[in-house]
Amino acid sequence: MRNARIRLIAEMGLAVALAVGLNAIFTLAFPVRMPFGGSFSLIMVPIVLMALMRGPWVGIAVGVLVGFSDLMFDPFVVSIPQMLLDYPIAYGLVGLAGIFTLRTPATGTDATAAATASTSTTATTKAGLQRLMVYAALGTIVGGLARLAAHVLSGVIFFGQYAPALQNVWVYSLVYNLTFMGPNIVAVAICATMAYPLVRRVVMQTEATQPSSCA
């Protein structure tokens, strides 16, 4: 459906723009940066929300775009493989949060009643709200840990020489990356848990009131 494709592209563009904006705000508010890259930011929130709303593949695509955007505005590059692993791959993996998506009905005349019913029974009831919040938290944890794994691997391969002589390089990389990824995952989980039910309800209500086009 043409309208659905256009809406999806617009949503992806908005998510990328929000991620870049959030990252810029937190870069100014918290200028502290790890010596080999890494900082506190809510840049993952739009990726997680898109993944939860539209599924893991859309989330991965948004994450890759956000990764390249972050590379342009806040680069820390020692080689092309490291760049790919720490930016588009790492942020793309955040899209795995979408494995916890609750599928929205397909747009169209037959979906209008279903979307409205789903909105009222899933997003407004206490049990439904709790379910959405749990899914958002779990999705954030999965996506955040996947990104952490990419950074840890990058640390072992490209920055392992900086590990103390008596410390295992994997432990060094894990501790280093947890220093900023731990607070990031917690903060993003809190934000996504609060935002996901509202975002899902607004999107579904919008879809239910817009006619589809088969052109």
Task: Say how far apart CA 61 and CA 22 lie, in whole Å.
Answer: 18
Residue 104 has pLDDT above 60, yes or no: no
Cα–Cα distance, 157 to 172 (Å, whole number): 12
pLDDT in tens, 165-204: 889 999 999 999 999 999 999 999 999 999 999 999 888 8
Percent of the chain with pLDDT over 70: 87
Predicted local confidence at residue 213, as pLDDT:
52
Which residue type does 137 have?
Answer: A
Query: What pLDDT, on a 0 to 100 scale, did the predictor assign at position 123?
Result: 46
- Topology of the domain comprising 2-209: Arp2/3 complex 21 kDa subunit ARPC3 (1.10.1760)
pLDDT given for residue 135 in this prediction: 95
pLDDT at 69: 93
Indicate the pLDDT class of residue 21, thresholds 50, 70 and 90.
very high
Query: Who has greater pLDDT, 13 or 213?
Result: 13
Contacts of 112 (CB under 8 A, 6+ apart): 208, 209
pLDDT above 60 for 114: no
**Measured distance CA(157)–CA(89) in Å, rounded:** 15
Residue with tokens 């439904």: 128
Residues 6+ apart with CB under 8 A from 150: 85, 86, 89, 90, 93
Quick one: what percent of the chain has pLDDT higher than 90? 63
- Greatest alpha-carbon span in the chain: 66
Closest to 181 in 3D by CA, of 139, 151, 138: 151
CA distance 14 to 156: 34
Rounded CA-CA distance 111/208 in Å is: 7
User: In this structure, are residues 97 and 139 in contact, taking their beta carbons and an 8 Å threshold?
Assistant: yes
139-161 confidence digits (pLDDT tens): 999 999 999 999 999 999 999 99
- Residue 107's pLDDT band (boundaries 50, 70, 90)? very low
User: Which band of pLDDT confidence, cut at 50, 70 and 90, is reported for residue 1?
Assistant: low
User: What's the CA angle centered on 84, arms 141 and 32, to 5 degrees?
Assistant: 65
User: Would you say residue 53 has pLDDT above 80?
Assistant: yes
- Predicted confidence (pLDDT) at residue 115 exceeds the cutoff of 50: no
The stretch 79-99 carries a mean pLDDT of 97
Band of the pLDDT at 34, cuts 50, 70, 90?
Answer: confident
